[in-house]
Chains A and B, each alone.
Chain A
Amino acid sequence: MDYGYGLIGIFILFGIVFVIFTIFFAGLLRPQRPNKTKLENYECGEAPMGGAWIQYNVGFYIYALIFVIFDVEVVFLFPWAVAFKQLGLFALIEMLIFIAILIAGLAYAWKKGALTWES
């Protein structure tokens, strides 16, 4: 096993243990006198209206879909960026073509009004 990934593993393990430890001991140490006001959803000083588990605006979904496409694009950018120094100009042009095709898609989305927010 690579030493670097061992370090990452220890880091992840420490992160998990830290969170569990803190929450557990906070629950153990704090005084527990709940009342109705304390148990309300936190709303920055305002009185909350309804529950927190509401239905969100459908408009978010198209952004999520577009995000997925560009997330896949990033996957291809990643090995290119790692090998960039050795590859030179040809690879840069290839990547520009790759991005340009996707930018055309973004332009299409923009033109169609998919990026404008409808409330």
Chain B
Amino acid sequence: MNLLVFYILAILAAGSAIMVVTMKNIFHSALFLVLTFFSVAGIYVLLNAEFLAAVQVLIYVGAITILMIFAIMLTHQLFSRSLRQVNEQVIPASLITFIFFVLSVVALAKTAWPVSGGQLPEDRIFEIGKLLMSEYVIPFEVVSVVLLVALVGAIIIGRREKSGDTK
């Protein structure tokens, strides 16, 4: 059952990822990206990493792709134009991609994957919360400073663009 669900999710993720790079309309590409991220979130759930799945949905589906869709909708003429997703370099590019694919398959097959012997805690999100508030409290507070810097940076860059533009 687990394996079956994994295969469905994997096919969904890979298939929609292919749709992202082949769709003629960039807006549809962005929507397929949402599906890809959702499938990856499903795989995280299969791996008992519910927190990661929640983060995946919140950050990647909820924020990153929405930001991309915003960027597409705000860009003049990009939104409705149908695009060609291939150019004259398609043959060398696919060759290199294929070589990379073979190399990664070989690497994946040759690697011995270590499995930690520890038992999974019953309530994993609870454990994450406890660790975040005790052992990793300094990194946790530093994260807020990093976010603050990102926020200020986004505002400065966003404002400058607007004042530089006439519109």
Q: Which residues of A contact B (CB under 8 A)?
A: 1, 5, 9, 51, 53-62, 64-69, 71-76, 78-84, 86-87, 90-91, 94, 97-99, 101-102, 104-106, 108-109, 112-114, 118
A71's partner among B46, B59, B126, B143 (CB-CB below 8 A) is: B59
Name A's interface SS.
Answer: helix
* Closest residue on chain A to residue B9 by CB atoms: A9
- Rounded to whole angstroms, the CA-CA distance of A9 and B12 in the bound complex is 14
Structural contact, A94 and B63, CB atoms closer than 8 A:
no
- Rounded to whole angstroms, the CA-CA distance of A76 and B137 in the bound complex is 12
Q: Would you list which residues of chain B between 116 and 137 have a CB under 8 Å from chain A?
A: 123, 125-130, 132-133, 137
B154's partner among A51, A69, A72 (CB-CB below 8 A) is: A69
How many chain B residues touch the partner (CB < 8 A)? 52
Q: Which 10 A-B pairs have the closest CB atoms?
A: A83-B129, A79-B129, A53-B80, A105-B151, A65-B154, A91-B133, A101-B144, A62-B158, A71-B63, A79-B128
Name B's interface SS.
Answer: helix
Q: Does B5 reach chain A (CB closer than 8 Å)? A: yes
Q: Which residues of B contact A (CB under 8 A)?
A: 1-2, 5, 45-46, 51, 54-55, 58-59, 62-64, 66-67, 70-71, 73-77, 79-80, 123, 125-130, 132-133, 137, 140-141, 143-145, 147-148, 150-152, 154-155, 158-159, 161-162, 165, 167
